[in-house]
Structure 1
Amino acid sequence: MRKNTIRIIYGPGNGKSASAVGYGLLGALAGKKVIIVQFLKGVLEEKSLEILERMDLEMKVFRFERSRCYFEDLPEDQKKEETMNLRNGFNFAKKVMATGECDLLILDEVLGLVDQEVISREEFIRFLQSADDETDLIMTGRVCPDEIRQYADQISYVENL
């Protein structure tokens, strides 16, 4: 029987990443090993990234994206290169999950990889099906397909009014 929790935080509103990082802080305070992998952050503010990097003793943060622009705004040749970087990040996340390297894995904006067709829904669902039973998983993104929702224990929809 599965012991882990899969949480999805999605929607068009702001605060999804902050919420996920907040769960990460709670996990770290409880003595859990937390790994955050960020995707599709583009022009992430330097201050935000600096703060996350300073918390490296409690939470490990990884980012494979190289572009400072949003993925959807990149020319096709740069999209191909960035797609490889993002896929490397997803492969890293799969390895972390497969090895049970942490207690809480946060995949920030990972749902966008499916939405932007960097990875297929089928590949993403295989990842969820093979998730380690001991590792809690939090995923964020703007859009969450129905096929992915069925794997979640908790779903939060974020909308700014």
Structure 2
Amino acid sequence: MEKGLVKIYCGEGQGKSTSSLGRALVCASEGKEVFMIQFLKGRHTGTLDYLKRLEPEVKVFRFEKMNRYYEELSEEEQREESINILNGVNFAKKVLTIGECDVLILDEILGLVDLGILNVEDVIHLIQAKPEEMELILTGRNLPEELVNEADYISKIGIVKKADSEA
């Protein structure tokens, strides 16, 4: 059995989640079981409903309960949502510990570090819990320096040109 790599998709540009989803589709087409745990996406059901159509090959999980992005929530709502987010992190730990899938994507987990919900050491512990043969993909805008040596592959996605309408 081949060694599963640790991959990180990071940067200011859009497309990190899309890139990880593309990788998920490739792996699913190879007969691998893929889990994607999405953080900081809220419960925007349109996207989630569509992603659920990829099951059973790609299983997508969101633990957040609010219909808005984390940054848009009041302080009280953020405290409540942080509990839900940490439930998602605990689920990821369980998946890693028992090797429940071939590919695990932790979408926007680096954003949890940016927001102070997790620290870098928490992410390192997740990486170290990865079974040898499992592929682990992490995404987020900012890449803490401490994670560089933990990854086998890092892709930085940046903005080359931005339309005036998006400014």
1:12 to 2:12 alignment? yes
Aligned equivalents of 2:149 and 2:71: distance in 1? 27
Give a deviation string over 1:46-90, Cα, whole Å, max 9, x none.
432222101111111100011122212211111110000000001
Match of 2:103 in 1: 104
> Alpha-carbon deviation of 1:43?
6.6
What TM-score do the two structures reach when normalised by structure 2? 0.90
Residue identity opposite 1:140 in structure 2: T
Aligned equivalents of 1:122 and 1:149: distance in 2? 13
Q: Check conservation: 2:34, 2:104, Cα contact below 8 A.
A: yes
Aligned equivalents of 1:47 and 1:88: distance in 2? 23
Number of residue pairs the alignment of both structures matches: 159
Deviation larger for 57-66 or 69-78: 69-78
Aligned equivalents of 1:36 and 1:43: distance in 2? 15
Structural mapping, 1:7-156, within 5 Å: 7-42=7-42, 44=44, 46-156=45-155
User: Structure 1: which 5+ runs fail to align?
Assistant: none
Q: Check conservation: 2:3, 2:133, Cα contact below 8 A.
A: yes
- SS of residue matched to 1:150: helix
Residue identity opposite 1:42 in structure 2: G
Deviation larger for 23-32 or 148-157: 148-157
Residue identity opposite 1:35 in structure 2: F
What TM-score do the two structures reach when normalised by structure 1? 0.93
Residue identity opposite 1:119 in structure 2: L
Larger Rg: 2
Query: Aligned residues: percent identity?
Result: 46
Residue identity opposite 1:122 in structure 2: E
- SS of residue matched to 2:139: strand
Residue identity opposite 2:154 in structure 1: I
- SS of residue matched to 2:76: helix
- SS of residue matched to 1:106: strand
> Alpha-carbon deviation of 1:130?
2.1
Aligned equivalents of 1:129 and 1:76: distance in 2? 32
User: Structure 2: which 5+ runs fail to align?
Assistant: 161-167
Aligned equivalents of 1:138 and 1:124: distance in 2? 12
Provide the aligned C-alpha RMSD in A: 1.4
Give a deviation string over 1:87-115, Cα, whole Å, max 9, x none.
00011011101101100001111111111
